Each structure stands twice: as C-alpha cells, then as structure tokens.
Structure 1
Amino acid sequence: MSKPNGDILFLIFKELKHNSKFLFSCLMVNRLWCETVIPVLWRDPWNYTINYRNKDSLYSIITSYLSNDIKEFLTKSGIKISSQSLAFDYLSFCKSIDVKTIDNIISVGSSPSEYNQFLLQEEIYNFLLKKCSEIKRLNIRGTYEIVYLPESRISLKSLCELTCDTSIDPKYYYRISHICQQIQRIIINNNNLEANHGVTKLIEFQKNLKYFKWIDDFNDDDYMELLEDPYEEIFNMLEKHANTLNHLEIILQFDYGYPTDYYNIYDIYDYTFVQYLLLKLHNLKIIEINSPIFLNNDDFNEKLKMVTYRDLEILEIDYIDICQITYLIKNSFYLRELRIYDFNWDYDRFINDSLNFIKIICENCFLIEYLSIPVFPLLESHFIEFGKLLKKCQKLRSLQFKEAYYEEENELEYGERLLNALVKDASTNLREIGFSYDIEFSLKSLEIFFEKWKGRPAVSIYLYNSYVYKKSDLYKKLFSKYKMEGVIKQINI
C-alpha cells in the first residue's frame, strides 16, 4: 500500500486540528509526519490543553527567537532566557495570539518580579507581531495593551476572530475598531455591569460579522442589584449586521430566585432586548440562547409570526413557550437540531399548541436529527401526528421528551403507547431516546419494546424517573440482559 504524501497528510491534520492528543502523537511517527504536523500545531499553539506554568517548552521556544542583545539585557535583569537552537521556524506558522496564555508562559521566566514580567512582555509581544505578520485570531482577555504597539496596525489588519471582555478600557476597543474591520467572529465575556461604548464601536465598524457570542461573567453576588444595562446599546448595534450574521450565542447570568416565578424576573431587569433582537436577524443559521424565559406578550408573538428563518439549522434555547418555538421554526426547512431544555405552555391552549408543534415539525423539519419534544396529551390525534413525524423525519438520531402534559394515573398506559409508536414508525437512524420523569414503563412493555427493537442499531436510553427503575432488581436484570444482547447501547437512570 502506498504511503500518503505530505499534502494529503496536511489536509488530514487540518481536519483534526482540535484533536491535540492525535496531533502530538504524530510528531513521533517519522520525519515526514513531524514536518507536516508542526505547521498545524503552531498555527494556534495556545489553543491546546497544557499547563503552561508547569511546562516551559513554549517559553524556551519563544525566548530563543529574541536577538542576542535583548537576551543579554534580559539576562542581566534576572530573567531566564533559553539559548537552545530550534529544529523548525515554529513562529513562522503562527496565526494567533492569546494574551492570557502567553502571559502565563512568560511568567515561567520572569516570576516573581512584576517589573521583569513587564520587560519580557514588551520584548516578546513586539517580536511576535513582527514575526507573525498576519494574525487571524486574537484573544485579548489580559492586561497587556498589545494593540498599541506600532506593529499591530499591520499584523492585526487581517484579524478574523477576536475574544475579549468588557472590563477593558473603551479606548482599547476604539483602537482595534480602526485597525480591524474584517472580523468575522467576536466572542465577548461580559464582566462589566455597565455598557462598554468601545465594544459598541467595535461591532459597528465590522464589515463582515458572521459569528457573535456573548457570555455574562459577573463575580459579584449582588450583580442583579447593581446592573446598569450593559446590553441594549451593544445588542442594538448587532441589527446593523442582519445580512451577514449567521451565528448568535447568548448566555446571560440570571437567577429566578425562590419561590420560582419565571416572569417576575422582568420586575428586576428588562431582558426583552433578546426577544426583539431575534426579530431583526433573519439570516441566522445557529441560535443558542440561555436567558430568562421569553415574555409571552401579544406584541412580540404577533411579530414573531411574521419572521421567517429559512436558513436556520440549529436552535438551542433554555426555556421558551411552545407556541413561540413553533413560530420560530415554522419555515425552517433546514433545521437539524432543536434543543429546548424546558417548554412553557398555557394549560388552556396546550392540546392545540402541542398538536400544532408536532405538525410543524412533521411538515417542515424533515432533516431534523436532534429533537426536543414536550410530553403531549394521551389523545389519538396526537399519537397519529407523532407517528407521521417519526415516518417523515428519517434522519432523526436523538429524541428527547421534556416535561409538559402530565397524564396522572395514566403514566403506564402513556409509556406503552409511546413505545409502540417508536418501534413501529421510528427510522433505524434513531440511536438515542430520553424520557422525562412523568413517563413510566411497565416491565412487560419495556421487554416487548426491546424484543421488537432487535435487528436495529443499539439504542441509548435515558430514564429521568430514576426512582421507579432503581428500586427493582427486575428492571435492572431486564436492562442488563438487553445490553448484553446488543439492543441497548447504554442505559442512564
């Protein structure tokens, strides 16, 4: 068998760039593999899981690049400098700078003196910007003001991805905004209780923004009382990028308190900016939102009915009303993942709303692979539509039933009916099923289900009503038997 050449190996290694264990092992195969994998590893060397404080290899490599004059100057200042010769020009492959990680690496040789660390930072960042002439990825979650170095205007001009936080002085962002205007991915850790106007300018100046991620990261336990709206100005600016933005990820820090009343949180702070932002971003492919429950008001719902997300592929929301999620996906013909962790509903409308939800999935989302679905009523109409959904959605791999309509005193009948529908109509692609705690199964119905499931790929079962199944040895023996026979891949109780 012929050996793969370097070009083919390089393409393979690029596809596996996040698998550090595999890439590091390739260094030891032979010289060709080593020479081919080095450019992949060093494109973003700060992105691997390494304790840089305990491993000084990167420190040695970086300081080896410094000129002899600078090495001599730093050595006289008490800073440990490497004099090793390098087998490769490692930094010529580098396209990223991670300030926090590099500062950790620098601390290997400059600790404990703060002044020595400053000297080493200044020399290394100057050198990095000269050596890495085209930086694509920058993480500035640190203290060193790298963007003020003269070389930054050239090196950062082609920046594609920026990770930052809102505690940085706005002037820092004003500088970046004038240098970098082709950033496609912005990831912001919000640790500021007030709006950072520099971040707003940064977003405004971009010409091809595609990916935006916002993560709240407040350390103060009383942050809710101190919050002064760090959101609205920044999130309103995202509307300017409605034509290019295709990935929106928002993780807000909030606490419903006790006793829980999900809507009362709006008495403390108004989070509706998330809802109304969604109405503007019609080209989104990925939506991931962890925020307080969407207000179920008539104005928003009527506007949501009119919005179409034709390119939507992944939708992940922590908690949302079933009618609102139905509006969001009603024309999403390319939807592959619908991950809802909790459904809210109106008891008076739930029979109609749940039936409509199932119909919308069946009619429009036939490419769905991962589906969260509320437990629907024990009604013939719902089970007929659910059967149609299973037949239509042949790519479905994971099906998760979430708490919703509770069939009190009918749990076992409901469970048996559900298992019959699954074994009768589900495609052979279905590999994972999760049942909420309000669905129960008799020993007999589970045994019939597993017998009929034979011949299909093994299925993983998640049973969240763990008490029912853990208390009986008969259930344990049943699960063990069908796991040994290859019907069950894994059972999580």
Structure 2
Amino acid sequence: MARLNKDILFLVFEELQDNAKFLFSCLMVNRIWCETVIPILWKNPWRYTINYYNKKSLYSILTSYLSNDIKETLTKKGIKISSQSLAFDYLSFCRSINIEIIDDIISIGPLLEYNRFLLQEQIYSFLIKKCPEIKYLNVCGTYEILHLPEAKFRLESIYELTCDTLINPRYFYRLAHICQQVQRIIIVNKNLKANSGTTKLIEYQKNLKYFEWVDEFEVENDMYYYWEMLEDPYTEIFNAVKKHANTLNHFQFENSSDNYNDNGDYTFLQDALLELHNLKTLKISSPLFSNNDNFNKKLEMVAYRNLEFIEIDFIYIYQVNYIIKNSLFLRELRINCFYVEKDTFNDDSFNFIRTIYENCFLIEYLTIPMFPLFETYFIEFEKLLKKCQNLRSLYFKKEYYEKGKNLEYGDYLSNVLTKEASINLRQIGIPHGIRFSLETLEAFLEKWKGRPAISIFLVEFYIYQTDSYMKLVNKYKIDGVIKDINI
C-alpha cells in the first residue's frame, strides 16, 4: 500500500481527514505518505483533539517563520525563538486561523504579558499574509485580528466562523462588514446578556447554511436564580437566524444539562424551528419542548421534506410524528428520551411506528419507544422491519413498562428480529424492562448465524454478568455472531 499512486493516496487521505489518529500515523510510513498527508493536516491544523499547549513543535514552526530581524529583537527581550529549518513550508497549506489555540501555543514561549503581546503581533501579522486563502476563522481568543491592515482583504472568503458572545459587539460589527459569505457559524454563548453584534453578523450573511449555538456559561448559583438573571441572549439572534430559512440546512442548539431549567422560556427555540423548513440536520439539546396547543398545531403544519438527521434530547412522541411525517429522506432519528402522555400513549406509539414505515423507509439509525404487547402493534412493527431495509441500528427506549412481562418482551423481540429484520441490522439497544432468558438469548444468537455480527447494548447489563451468560456470549463471539456486547 505504501507504493500507491500519490494522487490516489491524497484522495484517500482527504476522505479520512477527520480521523486525526490515522493521519498522524501516516506521517511515519515513508516520505511519499508524509508529503501527501502534510497538506491535509495543515489545511486546518487547529481542529484536532490534542493538547496544543504542550505542542512545542508547533511553537517552533510558527516562530521559525519570523524574519531574522524580528527574531533578534524578540530574543533580546528574553523570548525564546526557534532557529530550526523546516522540512516543509507548512503555512503554505494552511487555510485556518484559530486565535484561541494559537494563543495557547504562543503562551509556551514568553511569560510576561507584554512580551506575549509582542509575539502575538508578529505571528498573526505573518499568518494572515502567509496563508494563501483563509477559510476557517475562530476568534474566541484574546487577539483582535481585525486591526491588522490585511484583515479586510484576507478575511472576505471566510467559509466557517467560530466566536463567543463575550466579544465586544463592535468587533462583530466590523466582522459583519468584512465577512458576508460565511456558510457556517458556530456561536459559543458565555454571556447572560444579548450581544447585538452577533445578531448583526447573522443578518449580514448572504448564504448561511449551518448555524450552531452552544451555551457554555457557568451557573454559579441555583439554576432558577441563574435563569432569572438572564437578559434573554436568544430571541434577537434566533429571529435573525429565521430570516435565513431558505438557505439554512443545519440547525444545532446545545444547552448543557448543567444549564437546563425546565421552567425556562424556550419559545425562541420553538419559534425558530417552525420557520426552518429546509433543514437537513436538526440537533437540539435542551429541556422538553412546550406542550401547548398553539405550538403543536403550527408544528403539525410544517413540512420538513429535506431532513436527513435528527437528534433531540427530550420530546413528546406525537411531536416527533409531526416533524418526520414528510421526511422521506430521513436517515437517522436519535431521541434520547420520548415523553409520553398516558392517555394518548397507545395511539402515539402506534402512529410513530406507522409514520416510520410509511414515510421514513430509508432510515438507517432509529430510536423507538417500546410499545404494548398487543397484536396490532406486532403487525405494525413487522411492517416497519420489512419496509426499512436500510436499518442498521435499532435502539428501543423504555417509555412503556408492563410489570412482570420482562421475559415476554425478550421472547417477542428475539423472534421478530431474527424473522423480519433486514440483513443490514448490526446494532440493537435493549432498555430497562426487557430481559432475555439464557434460553431465549441462545436461540436468538443461533438464528442470527449467517448475518453480519451483531452489537448489543443492554441498559440492565448487570443482569447478564453471570457465568452462564458470559460463557454463552464468549462462544458466539468466537463464532463471529456477536461483535460487541456491554457485559
């Protein structure tokens, strides 16, 4: 493989550019591989999950680009500067400036704040000149790169912008006038107050396709107190996002569990969702959606025809039905927790199964609320398994529980999955309240022979940590029936 054509290698490595471990290992194969992978690694070298603060080699590379005069001046001030020669012109491949990470790398050198500022001035000055085309910009650090004379010309072509809401609004006003073709915007919210600058930045965009909002402010006091202190950092900017409904295809909202407040007002999020009809990807990590009639009626009227990926923490089953009923291209549906209303659960879960096999038959990854052991549900679920032939991952959620029927559920699932499931099914998730007896599990695994190896995730894994179950599992692992199981 080391002798593969260089052009072919480049295409392979580009496909694997998100796999940092693989790319870094390629550097050590031979010179051809190293020469091929370096431009890919250095296209956006600050994106990888490594500790940049400890990367002295990156500090050496950056300071190596300084002119001899500047090196001499900085050295006299006690700043350590690399004098090594470089094997590659690394920055000629770079299309990214991440101020937060570059600041960390710079801090490896000078200890005094003023000396660090001097080094920042020099490094960012040559970075913005040296990088042939800047596509990725992260301005979450301390240095205000917009003050550089070349900024207006060099930053016009930004494709992806990451920022936080603690930055001065005036900085965003300048960004908005320079960068108007940004397609991906990631905003890290660390501010309890609204930042009008971020709103203006969103308003000025002409082709926004990807919007991601991440709440990362620290809750110092009681959650309810924190929510009362919020001066609504959301409504203004999410109203601006709605104006990009025709171009936006990725919407992501992340509110960490530490910041959840079930009594908080999330209508800004629901209002935005009602407008964003062209989405392909929808990710929402927040408390439960509102259960008011007005929102539900509007949600039922929206047609999300392009959705391919949905990931939501908490949502009512019938609200999921409303969202996916027109999503013919849906590939993945990941729901962490389906909320139920006891009076309508039977109808809602029944309709959910039917909606999937009638409208989402291309589904590959599916979370599904467990349903009652009634014949009508069996018929519908069998239709789902027969119709959804692309299904690779099936995770059941315990939203319904009948005391004393744990083993009966296990018997049913083992039979129906071996009988009706697609040959593509490779992952199964089993929730609390469903249990496989030793005999049922053995029968299931025996019938699974001849299919691709199965991975099984068990919520109640501790039940199976006995000698009998472990012996059975090891046997079918050796036989290639089980790929992985968490016991």
Smaller-chain TM-score bracket = over 0.9
Give 1:168's aligned residue.
167
How many angstroms apart in 2 are the aligned matches of 1:186 and 1:427?
Answer: 39
Give 2:47's aligned residue.
47
Opposite residue 65 of structure 1, the aligned amino acid is Y
C-alpha distance 411-20 of structure 1, shift in aligned 2 (>3 A): closer
User: Which ranges of structure 1 fall in alignment gaps of 5 or more residues?
Assistant: 258-263
| CA shift for structure 1 position 256 | 9.0
Opposite residue 405 of structure 1, the aligned amino acid is Y
Counterparts of residues 72-471 of structure 1 (less than 5 Å): 72-110=72-110, 112-222=111-221, 223-253=226-256, 265-266=262-263, 269-470=264-465
Aligned residues: 483
Given the alignment of the two structures, is residue 484 of structure 1 paired with residue 478 of structure 2, yes or no?
A: yes
| CA shift for structure 1 position 5 | 3.1
CA contact 2:364–2:391 (8 Å) conserved in 1: yes
CA contact 1:275–1:294 (8 Å) conserved in 2: yes
How many angstroms apart in 2 are the aligned matches of 1:67 and 1:447?
Answer: 71
| CA shift for structure 1 position 449 | 1.4
Q: After superposition, give the CA deviation of every residue in 1:53-93 in whole Å (9 maximum; x if it has no partner).
A: 33322222221211222112111111111222223222111
Q: After superposition, give the CA deviation of every residue in 1:249-280 in whole Å (9 maximum; x if it has no partner).
A: 111145699xxxxxx823xx211221121110
How many angstroms apart in 1 are the aligned matches of 2:27 and 2:97?
Answer: 23
CA contact 1:187–1:214 (8 Å) conserved in 2: yes
How many angstroms apart in 2 are the aligned matches of 1:69 and 1:240?
Answer: 51
C-alpha distance 38-480 of structure 1, shift in aligned 2 (>3 A): closer
Opposite residue 267 of structure 2, the aligned amino acid is T
| CA shift for structure 1 position 2 | 11
Opposite residue 228 of structure 1, the aligned amino acid is E
**Secondary structure of 2:38's match?**
helix
Opposite residue 482 of structure 2, the aligned amino acid is I
Given the alignment of the two structures, is residue 65 of structure 1 paired with residue 65 of structure 2, yes or no?
A: yes
Higher alpha-carbon deviation: 4-13 or 70-79: 4-13
What percent of counterpart residues are identical? 65
**Secondary structure of 2:252's match?**
strand
How many angstroms apart in 2 are the aligned matches of 1:23 and 1:473?
Answer: 42
| CA shift for structure 1 position 22 | 2.8
CA contact 1:256–1:265 (8 Å) conserved in 2: no
TM-score of the two chains, using structure 2 as the length reference: 0.95
| CA shift for structure 1 position 163 | 0.9
**Secondary structure of 1:434's match?**
strand
How many angstroms apart in 1 are the aligned matches of 2:135 and 2:36?
Answer: 21
C-alpha distance 480-25 of structure 1, shift in aligned 2 (>3 A): closer
TM-score of the two chains, using structure 1 as the length reference: 0.94
**Secondary structure of 1:341's match?**
strand
**Secondary structure of 2:37's match?**
helix
How many angstroms apart in 2 are the aligned matches of 1:447 and 1:30?
Answer: 48
**Secondary structure of 2:275's match?**
coil
Opposite residue 109 of structure 2, the aligned amino acid is G
Opposite residue 250 of structure 1, the aligned amino acid is F
CA contact 1:407–1:414 (8 Å) conserved in 2: no
CA contact 2:254–2:285 (8 Å) conserved in 1: yes
User: Which ranges of structure 2 fall in alignment gaps of 5 or more residues?
Assistant: none
Opposite residue 487 of structure 1, the aligned amino acid is V
How many angstroms apart in 2 are the aligned matches of 1:454 and 1:17?
Answer: 35
Give 1:261's aligned residue.
none
Higher alpha-carbon deviation: 280-289 or 50-59: 50-59
C-alpha distance 256-374 of structure 1, shift in aligned 2 (>3 A): farther
How many angstroms apart in 2 are the aligned matches of 1:256 and 1:247?
Answer: 23
How many angstroms apart in 2 are the aligned matches of 1:476 and 1:177?
Answer: 60
CA contact 1:133–1:154 (8 Å) conserved in 2: no
C-alpha distance 24-469 of structure 1, shift in aligned 2 (>3 A): closer
Opposite residue 174 of structure 1, the aligned amino acid is Y
Higher alpha-carbon deviation: 388-397 or 6-15: 6-15
Give 1:38's aligned residue.
38
